[in-house]
Amino acid sequence: MVKVGFIGLGKMGLNMALNVTDKGWSVVGFDANESAREKAKAKGLTVADTEDVLLSQLDEPKVVLLSTPAGPTTNGLVKELTDKLHAGDIIIDSGNSYYKDSQENFRVATEKEIHFVDCGTSGGMSGARYGACLMVGGEEAVVKQLEGFFTDLAIEDGYLYAGKPGSGHYLKMVHNGIEYGMMEAIGEGFAVLEESDYDFEMADVAKCWANGSVIRSWLIDLMVDAFKQDPNLDDIEGIIDANGEAKWTVQEALDLDIPLPVIASSLYVRNASKIENSFSNRVVASLRNGFGGHALYKKGE
C-alpha cells in the first residue's frame, strides 16, 4: 500500500481519509485552514502543516488526493502540484469538478508526465466515512494501480472505472442532475401534503414511505430525521444553493439536443428560492443538509 496525501480535510476529505485509514492505508493530510488541520489531528490523522511537508512525507510515486472546492481552487492547485511533483506521480481529484476542467487538468498534468485521475464521489459525509460511491475516470493502467485504494474507499459494488479522462466527473455531473430532480419531486410532494385539508404528521408519512414504498430511499430516510427535529421545518429558510452540477448537466443536454424538463425545472426552482420561502424548498434544503452538510439557512440568522 502506498501512502496517500489528502489535500482538503473538510466534510468529505477528512471522512475519506479516516475511512481508508481504518482499512490499513497510510495517510497524511493537509488543509489550508488551521482549524480543519486541528480537527483532523484530534481525530487521530497524521497532518502536515504545509503542502510541501505533506509532499515530502509521501513515497514514490507520490499519490495526492484533492478534496477541494471545484473550479479555480482545484484547477489552481493542480497547476501548482504539477510544478512540484515528478513524472509518474498521481493526482486524484475527488471533488465535484466540471468534467471539461478535468479534461484540461489531465492535459496539464500529462505535459509533465504526471498522471491525473478524476473521481466522482457520492454518498455524502456518511458515505465518505463508511463507504462511498465512486465513479473514476482516467488512463486505465493508472486507475488499475489505485484500484485497491478505490475499492477500500467505496461501499461494496460502489466503485466503477468509468473510462477515459473526464468520464468520472461526467458521470457525477449527470448523477447530481438526477439528484436535483429527485429532491425537487420530494419537496413538491410534501408541499402538497402541507397545504391539504388533512392533518398529516410529516415524520410519520416519511417513515411510512421509507418502508416498502416504491419511492423508499435514503432521501426519504433523511426526511424522517428532518421532520423529527422540526415537524414543520419552521426554523428553516427555503433557500437552496446550487453548486453547478445541474447547470452543467442542462448545458450538456442542450449541446446534445436532449430534453431535461425535470432537471432544468429543479435548477430554476433553486434560483427562484433566493426570492421566496416555500415549504418544498425547505424540504429540499433539509435534504441537502442531511446528506452533504450543505448550508442550512435558519430564520433570524
Positions marked catalytic:
172, 179
Q: In a structure prediction context, what are the per-residue pLDDT tens digits for the chain, which is 301 residues long?
A: 899 999 999 999 999 999 999 999 999 999 999 999 999 999 999 999 999 999 999 999 999 999 999 999 999 999 999 999 999 999 999 999 999 999 999 999 999 999 999 999 999 999 999 999 999 999 999 999 999 999 999 999 999 999 999 999 999 999 999 999 999 999 999 999 999 999 999 999 999 999 999 999 999 999 999 999 999 898 877 777 777 788 899 999 999 999 999 999 998 888 777 766 778 888 888 888 888 777 767 765 5
Tell me the pLDDT tens digit for each residue of 130-160: 999 999 999 999 999 999 999 999 999 999 9
Q: What is the pTM of this model?
A: 0.89
Tell me the pLDDT tens digit for each residue of 196-238: 999 999 999 999 999 999 999 999 999 999 999 999 898 877 7
Which residues, other chains included, contact 53 with Cβ-Cβ below 8 Å and sequence gap of 6+? Answer: 30
107-146 in b/e form (b: 16+ CB < 10 A) is ebbeeeebbbbbbbbbbbbebbbebbbbbbbbbeebbebb
Is the distance from CB of 13 to CB of 29 less than 8 angstroms?
yes
**3-state secondary structure at position 9:** coil
